[in-house]
Amino acid sequence: MSMHDEVLAAAKDMLRLNLTAGTSGNVSGRLEDGSVVITPSSIDYETMTLADLVVLDASGEVIEGTRSPSSEKLVHIACYKRFPEVQSVIHAHPVYASMFAVARQPIPSAIDEFAVYVGGDVPVADYAMTGSSELGENAADCLVDVGSALLANHGTVTVSDSPERAIHQLGVVERAAQIVWGARILGGDAELPSSTNETLGGYYRMMRKPS
């Protein structure tokens, strides 16, 4: 399966799994020549085809495709520039994780094995306006040791080595956000031992290292 196919499949999964709504959110993948294939702006995921995808150069300029690229393309470009090991970026608006983003509260690594997939607590990036280069830089600042971050008052950004694994990680983050939210209603979430998260987060960082 080509990276174009993987990006399209992940975009459709993002909607199917209720990790975004409508035409919001966006998925990208890094191609072998360093260019980036990304979903277009304002196209329904259910009807989106390979022909709708757009290819950008390393600076974010369109080099292939007839559609307008996602309005959050600079978030994707910033992550690829900062992290050579990252091969896919997903920006989404899952409900529970976005609640934490609006509250500007990190999602704690409170569930066993969460850190294996994410690296640790999901931090909140400093607020910047949607579509701005500052938003991308603020997001990348948070993704050095973890794979997902919250965009303040906005949503999520996730990085991984493939679109499929990025979608899986995003699902782990959203499910954890829902569980922690519910646990707090029940009286509070208990922290995992720091040694557990350090060990499991170490596995994440080891797997993420550039090959």
Q: What is the pLDDT of residues 21-43, one digit of tens each?
A: 888 999 999 999 999 999 999 99
Residue of 72, 134, 174, 191 with catalytic role: 72
User: What is the per-residue pLDDT across 164-199, written as a single tens digit (0 to 9) for each?
Assistant: 999 999 999 999 999 999 999 999 888 899 999 999
Return the C-alpha torsion angle 54, 211, 203, 143, nearest 10. -40
Confidence at residue 209, expressed as pLDDT on a 0 to 100 scale: 82
User: What span, in angstroms and rounded, lies between the C-alpha atoms of 101 and 53?
Assistant: 28
- CB neighbour list of residue 131: distance below 8 Å, 6 or more residues apart: 71, 72, 74
* CA 119 to the chain's CA centroid: 13
Please, what's the b/e burial string for 41-55 (b: 16 or more CB within 10 A of its CB; e: otherwise)?
eebebeebeeebbbb
User: What span, in angstroms and rounded, lies between the C-alpha atoms of 83 and 45?
Assistant: 27
Instruction: Name the CATH topology of 3-208.
Output: L-fuculose-1-phosphate Aldolase (3.40.225)
Question: Is 72 among the residues known to form the active site?
Answer: yes
Return the C-alpha torsion angle 15, 104, 117, 114, nearest 10. -110
What's the pTM? 0.96
Under 8 Å between Cβ of 76 and 26: yes
User: What span, in angstroms and rounded, lies between the C-alpha atoms of 25 and 90?
Assistant: 7
User: What is the per-residue pLDDT across 33-80, written as a single tens digit (0 to 9) for each?
Assistant: 999 999 999 999 999 999 999 999 999 999 998 999 988 999 999 999
